[in-house]
């Protein structure tokens, strides 16, 4: 029995038996519906055009619904136009207006067609749920149109009158946009982003805006997201890291136009310090052109080298502050023989591919020059003061975590650190030892501290350093490799030194028994549960598959990132979990001028249709129903009085 105080609170919202019982009926009706469709994406890596298209088109599902509804009735070309209108209503209506095609006929036909699609995509939801998703000003009208009986002549007249009045009152464009957005909203119930929104591609900031407008999204942070979050806290190594990666991919737009980071001090510094150095090892990859902030590749290479050298210095300082990270052998600047031009890695000496280090004092290689210190100060100020960056980072915090259990699935970006013997690996912090789930919780807690602890506190500094550890430390669940060989990539020819070894997790987790052990660690049943990861590109072209451990584990980094498409052979996956099945949609490289349908394959059929009652939401609703029943009983027994106004 709930305590009376709680029931009293509840009675404020449901003041009568009638109000409480009608909510009970409403909730029970919801529980009896098929579960909504969940979409999983990972490793978006700034590819905003491709991702926004996947999201708005529901990875091809909207096109399929159009085909099912109008196939053979309207020409293919019109189907494509309708699809594009649904994905990008504002943009397309603008174009249609400009070409003089926004006629009354067009408006009538379009509204009719959109209403038909809306009916199809809303059919599995309650009327009330659909209504809640409508914009308030059109809710009544859309609701009427969705439920009109087309066999009834009077209703048919009523229908065309509604449409007429929409057109007469010149709100057809707004109405069309509302219908398009409703269709998009109804096809994806929950969106899960399994990490790595940032880096390599052009505009992660645009992706963040899109996610912030989405009605239901959760994010499991990837190592790249953590690195940006660390930069926003003011961690210098993270700041250098995100700048270095952005510059190395020629992504100046995300920095300058996206987040207003002032790069002028860096470009001036680099142009001066590396004036006579072509910085060959630092020429950026050019996969996308900058629209707003074009930087000459020669200058970009100098900026890239300048920031990389500073990064190695400030990373060295963190490693020295934290012997417990066990990363002393990663301070490679200290093992460089600047006279001989060699570097020693794990006891072996290699020639350096670049020997020009005007800012490094061989006697004290981690010491920053005055110019570097000054530069870091201005860069840090830029990161700390970027309003848009902090808006996005706050969203990553409010909607994100290191892991999430949702509808019997366990979601995280990288791995649960394991030892080769199959046990969970552990980390000691303070007097406690963390492993498995507690390790994930510990890191999650520290990620919060890095941003939210008071400025200047010891806890904050500790947690901020840990953000960098999470980026590249060997026991980081979002990194999942033994070391990050950035230094070796830049300066050593011998490819053997570039190797980064994956955590034993990746070999073990392809066996069902290890997946079961992990699921058990997170209190999830072995049967019917799945682990969903990103982070490691699945090399489709080499015959790899994203489905592992007999269907218990999915690794869905399919290479949305252009930089990795040659490795994977495709351009990304969407994992789709609806009431009937789990399916994987495999995407082709995005071409803005061509609509290409993904290859969808069902990977698991549910034994029986999954209802809301079977989901986490359903369990939450069952709790609410039980509470409301107690409230009704309290009214009936007279323990609480109804408030009839």
Ligand X SMILES: O=P(O)(O)OC[C@H]1O[C@](O)(COP(=O)(O)O)[C@@H](O)[C@@H]1O
Q: Write out the residues near ligand X by the rule CB under 6 A.
A: 196, 200, 223-224, 481, 484-486, 500, 535
Q: Does 196 bind Mn ion (CB under 5 A)?
A: yes
183 CB-contact burial (10 Å; exposed 0-12 / middle 13-18 / buried 19+): buried
- The residues with which 576 forms a beta bridge, in sequence order, are 39, 583
Of 105-113, 194-202, 372-380, 449-457, which segment contacts Mn ion by CB under 5 A? 194-202
Work out how close the CB of 220 gets to ligand X at its nearest, in angstroms, rounded to a whole number: 13
Residue 54 has φ and ψ, to the nearest 5°, of -60, -40
Distances (CA, A) of 69 to 72, 107, 128, 493, 643: 9, 19, 24, 58, 49
Of 193-201, 306-314, 320-328, 361-369, which segment contacts Mn ion by CB under 5 A? 193-201
Work out how close the CB of 500 gets to ligand X at its nearest, in angstroms, rounded to a whole number: 5
The first and second tokens of residue 340, run together, are: 């001989």
Q: Build a one-symbol-per-residue string for 548-567: x at contacts with Mn ion by CB under 5 A, - elsewhere.
A: --------------------
Rank residues 113 and 535 by Cβ distance to ligand X and give the closer one. 535
Rank residues 53 and 224 by Cβ distance to ligand X and give the closer one. 224
Rank residues 235 and 485 by Cβ distance to ligand X and give the closer one. 485
Work out how close the CB of 537 gets to ligand X at its nearest, in angstroms, rounded to a whole number: 7
The first and second tokens of residue 631, run together, are: 């409230």
Rank residues 15 and 222 by Cβ distance to Mn ion and give the closer one. 222
500 binds, among ligand X, Mn ion, none (CB under 5 to 8 A by kind): ligand X
Work out how close the CB of 480 gets to Mn ion at its nearest, in angstroms, rounded to a whole number: 8
Of 188-196, 279-287, 579-587, 623-631, which segment contacts Mn ion by CB under 5 A? 188-196
Torsion over CA of 83, 88, 91 and 96, rounded to 10 degrees? 20
Of how many residues is the chain composed?
A: 645
Rank residues 302 and 535 by Cβ distance to ligand X and give the closer one. 535
Angle at 352 between CA 351 and CA 354, to 5 degrees: 150
Q: Does 222 bind Mn ion (CB under 5 A)?
A: yes
Rank residues 33 and 563 by Cβ distance to ligand X and give the closer one. 563
Determine the Cα–Cα distance for residues 559 and 113; give it in Å rounded to an integer: 35
Rank residues 484 and 631 by Cβ distance to ligand X and give the closer one. 484
Of 34-42, 191-199, 306-314, 510-518, which segment contacts Mn ion by CB under 5 A? 191-199
Work out how close the CB of 516 gets to ligand X at its nearest, in angstroms, rounded to a whole number: 26
Nearest Cα to Cα of residue 293 among 330, 317, 264, 271:
264
Of 113-121, 375-383, 445-453, 532-540, which segment contacts Mn ion by CB under 5 A? 532-540
Nearest Cα to Cα of residue 232 among 468, 32, 53:
468
Distances (CA, A) of 297 to 187, 280, 282, 422: 43, 11, 10, 47
Nearest Cα to Cα of residue 561 among 87, 204, 223:
204
Work out how close the CB of 248 gets to ligand X at its nearest, in angstroms, rounded to a whole number: 7
Q: Tabulate helix, strand, coil % of the chain (nearest 5).
A: 55, 10, 35
Q: Does 425 bind Mn ion (CB under 5 A)?
A: no
Residue whose structure tokens are 């119930």: 189
Closest residue to Mn ion, judged by C-beta, is 535
Helices 297-321 and 370-385 sit at what angle, rounded to 10 degrees? 90
Rank residues 478 and 553 by Cβ distance to ligand X and give the closer one. 478
Rank residues 33 and 287 by Cβ distance to ligand X and give the closer one. 287
CB 570 within 8 A of CB 586: yes
> Taken in order 47, 53, 59, 60, is the CA torsion positive or negative?
negative
Beta strands in 506-605 (DSSP E): 530-537, 547-548, 553-557, 573-577, 581-586, 599-605
> Taken in order 458, 459, 460, 463, is the CA torsion positive or negative?
positive
Nearest Cα to Cα of residue 50 among 195, 242, 174, 207:
207
Work out how close the CB of 422 gets to Mn ion at its nearest, in angstroms, rounded to a whole number: 24
* H or E segment and range at residue 9: helix 4-13
Of 64-72, 105-113, 218-226, 279-287, which segment contacts Mn ion by CB under 5 A? 218-226
35 binds, among ligand X, Mn ion, none (CB under 5 to 8 A by kind): none
486 binds, among ligand X, Mn ion, none (CB under 5 to 8 A by kind): ligand X
173: left (phi over 0), alpha (psi -120 to 50) or beta: alpha
Work out how close the CB of 365 gets to Mn ion at its nearest, in angstroms, rounded to a whole number: 29
37 binds, among ligand X, Mn ion, none (CB under 5 to 8 A by kind): none
Rank residues 41 and 125 by Cβ distance to Mn ion and give the closer one. 41
Rank residues 179 and 243 by Cβ distance to ligand X and give the closer one. 243
Rank residues 481 and 517 by Cβ distance to ligand X and give the closer one. 481
β-strands 409-412, 530-537 pairing: parallel
Determine the Cα–Cα distance for residues 422 and 424; give it in Å rounded to an integer: 7
Work out how close the CB of 560 gets to Mn ion at its nearest, in angstroms, rounded to a whole number: 12
Distances (CA, A) of 40 to 37, 87, 200, 206, 578: 10, 19, 20, 19, 11
484 binds, among Mn ion, ligand X, none (CB under 5 to 8 A by kind): ligand X
Rank residues 188 and 556 by Cβ distance to ligand X and give the closer one. 556
Residue 6 has φ and ψ, to the nearest 5°, of -65, -45
Distances (CA, A) of 196 to 45, 232, 464, 519, 557: 6, 16, 19, 23, 10
481 binds, among Mn ion, ligand X, none (CB under 5 to 8 A by kind): ligand X
Rank residues 196 and 425 by Cβ distance to ligand X and give the closer one. 196
CB 396 within 8 A of CB 227: no
192 binds, among ligand X, Mn ion, none (CB under 5 to 8 A by kind): none
Work out how close the CB of 288 gets to ligand X at its nearest, in angstroms, rounded to a whole number: 14
Nearest Cα to Cα of residue 473 among 517, 425, 430:
425
Work out how close the CB of 535 gets to ligand X at its nearest, in angstroms, rounded to a whole number: 5
Work out how close the CB of 183 gets to ligand X at its nearest, in angstroms, rounded to a whole number: 33
Rank residues 36 and 201 by Cβ distance to ligand X and give the closer one. 201
| 3-class state of residue 563 by DSSP | helix
Of 169-177, 223-231, 248-256, 399-407, which segment contacts Mn ion by CB under 5 A? 223-231
Q: Does 316 bind Mn ion (CB under 5 A)?
A: no
Work out how close the CB of 562 gets to Mn ion at its nearest, in angstroms, rounded to a whole number: 16
Number of residues that bind Mn ion (CB under 5 A): 4
Q: Does 535 bind Mn ion (CB under 5 A)?
A: yes
334 binds, among Mn ion, ligand X, none (CB under 5 to 8 A by kind): none
Work out how close the CB of 217 gets to ligand X at its nearest, in angstroms, rounded to a whole number: 20
Work out how close the CB of 539 gets to ligand X at its nearest, in angstroms, rounded to a whole number: 13
CB 201 within 8 A of CB 288: yes
Residues in contact with Mn ion by CB under 5 A are 196, 222-223, 535
């Amino acid at each position: 029995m709930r305590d009376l105080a709680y029931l009293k609170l509840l009675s404020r919202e449901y003041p009568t038996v009638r109000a409480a019982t009608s909510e009970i009926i409403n909730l029970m009706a919801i529980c009896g519906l098929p579960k909504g469709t969940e979409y999983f994406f990972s490793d978006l890596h700034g590819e905003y055009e491709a991702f926004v298209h996947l999201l708005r088109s529901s990875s091809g599902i909207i096109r399929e619904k159009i085909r099912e509804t109008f196939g053979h009735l309207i020409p293919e070309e019109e189907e494509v136009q309708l699809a594009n209108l649904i994905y990008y209503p504002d943009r397309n209506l603008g174009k249609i207006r400009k070409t003089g095609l926004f006629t009354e006929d067009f408006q009538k036909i379009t509204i009719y067609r959109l209403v038909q699609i809306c009916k199809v995509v809303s059919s599995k939801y309650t009327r009330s749920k659909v209504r809640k998703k409508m914009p308030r000003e059109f809710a009544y009208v859309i609701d009427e149109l969705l439920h009109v009986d087309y066999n009834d002549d009077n209703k048919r007249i009523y229908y065309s009158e509604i449409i007429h009045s929409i057109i007469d009152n010149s709100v057809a464009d707004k109405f069309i946009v509302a219908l398009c957005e409703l269709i998009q909203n109804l096809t994806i119930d929950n969106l899960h982003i399994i990490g790595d929104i940032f880096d390599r591609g052009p505009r992660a900031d645009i992706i963040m805006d899109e996610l912030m407008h989405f009605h239901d999204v959760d994010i499991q942070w990837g190592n790249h997201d953590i690195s940006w979050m660390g930069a926003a806290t003011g961690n210098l190594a993270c700041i250098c890291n995100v700048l270095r990666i952005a510059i190395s991919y020629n992504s100046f737009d995300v920095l300058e136009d996206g987040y207003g980071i002032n790069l002028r001090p860096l470009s001036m510094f680099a142009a001066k310090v590396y004036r006579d150095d072509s910085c060959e090892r630092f020429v950026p990859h050019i996969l996308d052109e900058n629209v707003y902030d074009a930087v000459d590749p020669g200058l970009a290479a100098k900026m890239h080298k300048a920031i990389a050298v500073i990064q190695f210095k400030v990373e060295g300082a963190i490693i020295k502050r934290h012997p417990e990270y066990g990363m002393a052998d990663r301070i490679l600047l200290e093992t460089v023989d600047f006279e001989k031009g060699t570097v020693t890695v794990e006891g072996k000496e290699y020639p350096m591919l670049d020997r020009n280090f005007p800012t490094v004092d061989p006697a004290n290689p981690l010491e920053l020059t005055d110019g570097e210190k000054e530069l870091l100060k201005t860069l840090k100020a830029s990161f700390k003061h970027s309003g848009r960056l902090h808006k996005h980072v706050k969203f990553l915090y409010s909607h994100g975590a290191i892991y999430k259990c949702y509808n019997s699935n366990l979601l995280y970006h990288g791995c649960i650190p394991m030892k080769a013997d199959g046990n969970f690996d552990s980390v000691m912090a303070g007097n406690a030892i963390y492993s498995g789930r507690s390790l994930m919780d510990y890191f999650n807690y520290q990620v919060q501290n890095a941003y939210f602890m008071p400025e200047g506190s010891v806890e904050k500094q500790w947690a901020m350093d840990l953000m960098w550890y999470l980026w590249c430390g060997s026991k980081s669940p979002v990194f999942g490799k033994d070391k990050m060989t950035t230094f070796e990539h830049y300066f050593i020819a011998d490819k053997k030194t570039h190797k980064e070894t994956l955590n034993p997790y990746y070999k073990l987790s392809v066996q069902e028994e290890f997946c079961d052990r992990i699921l058990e660690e997170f209190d999830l049943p072995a049967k019917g549960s799945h682990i969903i990861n990103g982070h490691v590109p699945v090399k489709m072209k080499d015959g790899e598959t994203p489905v592992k451990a007999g269907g218990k584990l999915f690794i869905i980094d399919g290479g949305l990132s252009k930089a990795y498409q040659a490795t994977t052979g495709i351009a990304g996956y969407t994992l789709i979990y609806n009431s009937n099945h789990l399916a994987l949609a495999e995407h082709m490289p995005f071409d803005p001028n061509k609509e290409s349908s993904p290859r969808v394959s069902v990977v698991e059929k549910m034994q029986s249709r999954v209802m809301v009652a079977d989901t986490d939401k359903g369990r939450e609703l069952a709790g609410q129903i039980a509470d409301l029943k107690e409230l009704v009983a309290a009214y009936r027994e007279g323990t609480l009085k109804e408030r009839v106004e």
